[in-house]
Each structure stands twice: as C-alpha cells, then as structure tokens.
Amino acid sequence: MTVKPYLLLFAASALILAGCTTGPTTTDSGDDSGDTGSSEEDSGGVDAKGTKCEDNTSGVELFSDPSISESPEYGQVWGDGSPLVIAYDDYTSGTLSYNISYVQDDGAVIPVTGGFFMDDPVGTTFTSTDLLFNSASDGYYGIVDIAITDDAATTYIGAYCVVLAISE
C-alpha cells in the first residue's frame, strides 16, 4: 500500500496546528512608519465570536511571507463561498494548501479542516471558494495557514485571520 504525499501533508499540517507555532514569532508588516497599530485597529469593525486570532492561547502567530503580495484582510469572511485570494510572487511550481482552525472563547486554536487550492493559479495568484460544512466554527475567528509543497518539502508562507462562515 502506498501513502499519497498529500495525505502526509494534511496529517503533518494537522499536527503542527495542534501544538506548534506555524511561523516566525515576529511579524514584519512592511510598514516602517513606526506606527505598530493596535489589535482593535487591526480588527476594526469585525464582529465575530470567540477570542481574536492574535489573542489565542495556543501560541499560533499570524504572519505573511515577504513574497506574498495579496492576502486575506483581517476578519474577511471565508467558508461560505467567498473567495480567499493569495498572490505568492515566488511561485514557480508545487501545490498550495491551507489548514483552517478556529479560535474558541478560551483562546484555544481548534483544527477544522484543510484543503488545496485546486484551480490553476492565474500567474502567481491562487483563489479558493471552498465551503465549510457542519462545524461549530461558524461565526468564529479562524486562522488560515497557507503552505506550499514542492519536491517533498513543505514551507508555511502565511497565517491569516478570517471569520469563518458555514455554507448552508
């Protein structure tokens, strides 16, 4: 029996979400103006259940690889068919995947599901309109981890805060 590489990727990703950080412990926003902003400003107007992504108790850090030129806005709704767009300027080949977790009221980060950006990219831009079903995560802040797998190596290139919406 042969194990499919994408199954190993999904299993490894789930383990990482369960107990490890998904990226560097610091985030470079690319803004050198000296204004670091606050969590309230970053999440301005977002009305979601649970603890904010950056206030989670699991040590999961939000980050974006410098080669990402387009990413989800903080609190963007995803899971109901709304598009999630990632522009990975360093893309030459490989498979882009995602893992979704939600942040409970107590700050724990709970894995929900994962998948792949199935459509061919437009240049270096990937879009997913995948749907979420049957999950207690509806309306909660969620963390979407994005990874690229090429030549059997997986590299996490971003972790973004969204608001999860279950498809009806």
> Torsion angle, CA of 44/87/96/25, rounded to 10 degrees?
-50
**CATH number, domain with residue 71:** 2.60.40.10
Contacts of 1 by beta carbon, 8 Å cutoff, 6+ apart: none
What is the chain's pLDDT, residue by residue, as a tens digit (168 residues)? Answer: 444 443 334 444 433 333 333 333 333 333 333 333 333 334 455 789 889 999 999 999 999 999 999 999 999 999 999 999 999 999 999 999 999 999 999 999 999 999 999 878 999 999 999 998 878 899 999 999 999 999 889 999 999 999 999 887
Total domain count for the chain? 1
Domain that holds residue 18: 5-25+48-164
Residue 115 within any structural domain of the chain? yes
Residue 36 within any structural domain of the chain? no
Contacts of 109 by beta carbon, 8 Å cutoff, 6+ apart: 17, 56, 57, 58, 60, 101, 102, 103, 143
Contact 143, 16 (CB under 8 A): no
Residue 139 within any structural domain of the chain? yes
